[in-house]
Amino acid sequence: MSKNYLQIDPKDNIIVAITSLEKGTKATIQGQDIVLKENIKQKHKFAVNDFSIGDAIFMYGVLIGKVIKPIKAGTAITIHNVKHASAEFKDSKEKFTWKAPNVLKFKERTFNGYYRKDGKVGTANYWLVIPLVFCENRNVDVLEGALSEKLGYETKKDYAVDTDALISQYKAGASKEDLLNVPIITTKEELSKNRIFPNVDGIKFLKHDGGCGGIRQDSETLCKLLAGYITNPNVAGATIFSLGCQNAQIELLQNALDAIDPNIDKPIHYLEQQKSNSEREFIEEAVKQTFIGLIEANKIERKPAPLSKLVLGLECGGSDGFSGISANPALGYASDLLVALGGSAVLAEFPELNGVEQEIINRCKTEKDAKKFYNLMRAYSASAVAVGSGFENNPSPGNIKDGLITDAMKSAGAAKKGGTSPITEVLDYTEQVTKPGLNLLCTPGNDVESTTGLVGSGCNVVVFTTGLGTPTGNPVAPVLKMSSNTDLYKRMNDIIDINAGTVISGDDTIESMGEKILEHIINVASGDVASKAVLHGNNDFIPWKRGVSL
């Protein structure tokens, strides 16, 4: 971007400061000269003209707020002079056309993935250990301690301590001096080289605080989510821990699995503690069944697959004033590329579609999906209002500090992740992606709850844009973090995979950055490059209980 300020849409009456601007700076907007009357911080906005109380504020070409105090041209737009406002929307579609991007560069490209018998292709190959109720979390911990490091999988640190080596030397009669020279630290890289099952990327332990108590619908939803994880193409099989008396019964999970795939043939081992003779026997069986399952999972090898087998989750979190003009639209272009190639992309976080509903409705291919989205948004908004909140409370302190002062402003930028393609299906939480093209999935705006939901609906890779930085990951799908600005990428390079700050500096266009994102996705999906979240063992998993979560 050549200027140090930007008008995103010709309809906008506020301007984004690309760099911090000093009082007295002259900005020229559509032939009109504006002299700044105060300093404007980077990523924040200033007024094009004088505003009176009640005037509408537009950004990205849509309504994002209403004036609550008079504002002079060339002064800052803040939470003190503007409040949230968003455009009304209806449940019927308006005319929409789409011009697909040129995909010639990627037409013959493939990624190396794990084929499943249902026709899906995984970007990873994991075994899951899942408790149906929080009472079993301790037993899951025991299984993790018994298997992970011993089989060469990740530890909670960058290294593992091999105490067995000390014990062995001690029993052999080693002196104190000899014991001090015994190497006992093994790095993650060294562990992975010594994996017993090289074709299995890991064992993932999906602990949670649900399965009983609360309302019965919570347990039903949890079982549907867990069924989505078991049937995810990145999963080879699962070990299920049940206590026996909880609401989330084994039968409930099996019914959820049948609803997704009546012919599922992945190995799934169910163990119920209240039917076991002892905890020792229960754990022993779990270890043996999981070990045998890993033997089968290890027989699967990566093979070339078309890019149409990718199901890309579109996520954002810790957004800033640049997210909507660099990282999100670049990811949106990558999404459009994938859709044009026959793949699937999934846009979630319904509270962050507030204000752009009509555009979303227009893009739905069918009236049925347009009405479904309309009803989901109305119901979600009403449930938030019923408990004394609302979508206007979505922006976090970090969002506001970095220039996103209303939910509609945040949403208009967040929606850019979904590109411009038609919407092939609207899904409620835990419903599965079955159609190629752009899908909508109802999830909360909470980063981890939303990412958990995306993967539970079938995403085999996720790109997560951020302006402030986050270590978020997922147990099953690789999560690629992309910064909206170069400063963040430099400061948090250990957890950020891709830098979209080059769009701000002018070194990349939205289109060239989008192509780079897709290239990175292909490399990660093939197992050639590990996402930073995978390297750090960020296995965040938070089921949504369908309460109000913004």
pLDDT in tens, 461-481: 999 999 999 999 999 999 999
- Which residues, in sequence order, are CB contacts of 232 under 8 Å at separation 6+? 122, 455, 456, 458, 459, 460, 476, 477
The region of weakest confidence among 89-98, 322-331, 422-431 is 89-98
* pLDDT at site 547: 65
Q: Would you say residue 222 has pLDDT above 60? A: yes
* pLDDT at site 407: 86
Strands 121-122, 110-115: pairing kind? antiparallel
- Find out whether 289 and 239 touch, Cβ atoms under 8 Å: yes
> What is the average pLDDT value for the chain, to the nearest integer?
93
Taking residue 219's Cβ as centre, other Cβ atoms within 10 Å add up to: 23
Question: What does the pLDDT average to over 71-100?
Answer: 92
Distances 383 to 88, 376, 391 between C-alpha atoms, Å? 18, 11, 10
Long-range CB pairs of 145-148, under 8 A, 24+ apart, other chains included: 146/283, 146/287, 147/203, 147/287, 147/290, 147/291, 148/202, 148/203
CA–CA separation, 314 vs 317, rounded Å?
11
Query: For 125-167, what is each residue's pLDDT tens digit?
Result: 999 999 999 999 999 999 999 999 889 887 666 677 878 888 9
Q: pLDDT grade, residue 302 (50/70/90)?
A: very high
- Find out whether 342 and 312 touch, Cβ atoms under 8 Å: no
Q: Helix, strand, coil % (nearest 5) of the chain?
A: 35, 20, 45
Question: What does the pLDDT average to over 8-15?
Answer: 95
Q: What is the pTM of this model?
A: 0.92
- Find out whether 206 and 230 touch, Cβ atoms under 8 Å: no
Helices (H), 36-174: 137-147, 163-171
What kind and span of H or E run contains 540? none
Token pair for residue 496? 């950020």
Query: For 358-375, what is each residue's pLDDT tens digit?
Result: 999 999 999 999 999 999
279-314 as b/e: b if 16+ CB within 10 A: eeebbeebeebbbebbeebbeeebeebbbebbbbbb
Q: pLDDT grade, residue 389 (50/70/90)?
A: confident
- Which residues, in sequence order, are CB contacts of 102 under 8 Å at separation 6+? none
Strands 498-499, 461-466: pairing kind? unpaired
Residue with tokens 């979240």: 533
Q: Would you say residue 397 has pLDDT above 60? A: yes
* pLDDT at site 184: 83
Question: What does the pLDDT average to over 349-364?
Answer: 93
Question: What does the pLDDT average to over 485-509?
Answer: 97
DSSP-derived 3-state class of residue 480: strand
Percent of the chain with pLDDT over 90: 82
CA–CA separation, 545 vs 245, rounded Å?
20
What is the side-by-side strand order in the sheet with 461-466?
423-427, 437-441, 344-347, 311-316, 461-466, 479-483, 498-499
- Strand residue runs (E) in 429-489: 437-441, 461-466, 479-483
Longest dimension (CA), the chain: 87
Question: What does the pLDDT average to over 541-550?
Answer: 79
Distances 175 to 110, 161, 178, 184 between C-alpha atoms, Å? 57, 20, 5, 16
Among residues 248, 210, 209, 253, the alpha carbon closest in space to that of 230 is found at 253
Query: For 17-48, what is each residue's pLDDT tens digit?
Result: 999 999 999 999 999 999 999 999 999 999 99
Give phi and psi for 260, each to the nearest 5.
-85, -45
